[in-house]
Amino acid sequence: MADMTSPSGRQETEVERADRNLNELLQELRVALPGVQVLFGFLLVVPFNQGYGRMTAFEQKLYFGALLCTALSSVLLIAPTVHHRLEFRTQDKEYLVLTANRLTIAGLAALALAMCAALLLIAHLIFGEAAAIVTAIAAAVVFAVIWYGLPVWRVRRRRLPHREGASGPGGRRGSDPRGRGVGP
């Protein structure tokens, strides 16, 4: 296959682009998975601690919800690796990249939910209901804005048609593709 310029501006074939995208995705998973594993390990030992018996029925259900969300996150974030191994040498890497991307996004959403549930549980145990609700809502907003809102906003902003008379991406005269100004 001949070299061509991809949407990223790189000179690469579709196969090279799929290889690069999969490698980047797998590198990102190497960052997320240790956090999920630590949270899951912590949650697995909670019932064996002395304080677990003093938890209310609500707290026990909340704990179990956090545990289930963490397990789901683990399944979804590990799935791309399993798919890669099972689909090894099938020449369908583009499908693998798209599927792995979706699984990763869902896995990170499950992780955010698990972390919010764990924060809700801990805040409820330490400070009571009102503080727990405020903590969980604040955490959910932070996750929603930083993990999802900012990237979605950036993608939508870049896709908007350029304003009349402006030059360069983002509709600003003299800006580079990363949105930084480079001059008048």
What pLDDT score was predicted for residue 183?
A: 42
* Domain assignment present for 183: no
Q: Can you state the angle between helices 14-45 and 57-86, rounded to 10 degrees?
A: 150
Tell me whether residue 64 is in a domain: yes
DSSP structure class, residue 160: S
Q: What range does the domain containing 42 cover?
A: 14-161
Is 40 contained in some domain?
yes
Whether residue 32 lies inside any domain: the answer is: yes
What is the average pLDDT value for the chain, to the nearest integer? 86
Residue 29 lies in a domain: yes
Confidence of residue 88 (pLDDT cuts 50, 70, 90): confident
Max alpha carbon distance in the chain (Å)?
A: 68
Residue 76's contacts (CB-CB under 8 Å, 6 or more residues apart) are 103, 104, 106, 107, 110
The answer to whether 104 touches 80, Cβ cutoff 8 Å, is yes
Q: What pLDDT is stored for residue 163 in this prediction?
A: 54
pLDDT average, residue stretch 12-39? 92
d(CA 154, CA 146): 12
- State the total domains in the chain: 1
Whether residue 3 lies inside any domain: the answer is no
Q: What is the DSSP string of 116-133?
A: HHHHHHHHHHHH-HHHHH
Domain annotation covers residue 1: no
Backbone φ and ψ for 181, nearest 5 degrees, come out as -65, 140
Q: In this structure, is residue 181 part of a structural domain?
A: no
| The pair of three-digit structure tokens given for residue 123, joined into one six-digit string | 């805040």
pLDDT of residue 50: 87
Q: Return d(Cα 32, Cα 38) in angstroms, integer.
A: 10
CB 105 within 8 A of CB 112: no
Q: How confident is the model at residue 110 (pLDDT cuts 50, 70, 90)?
A: very high
DSSP-based three-state secondary structure for 5: strand
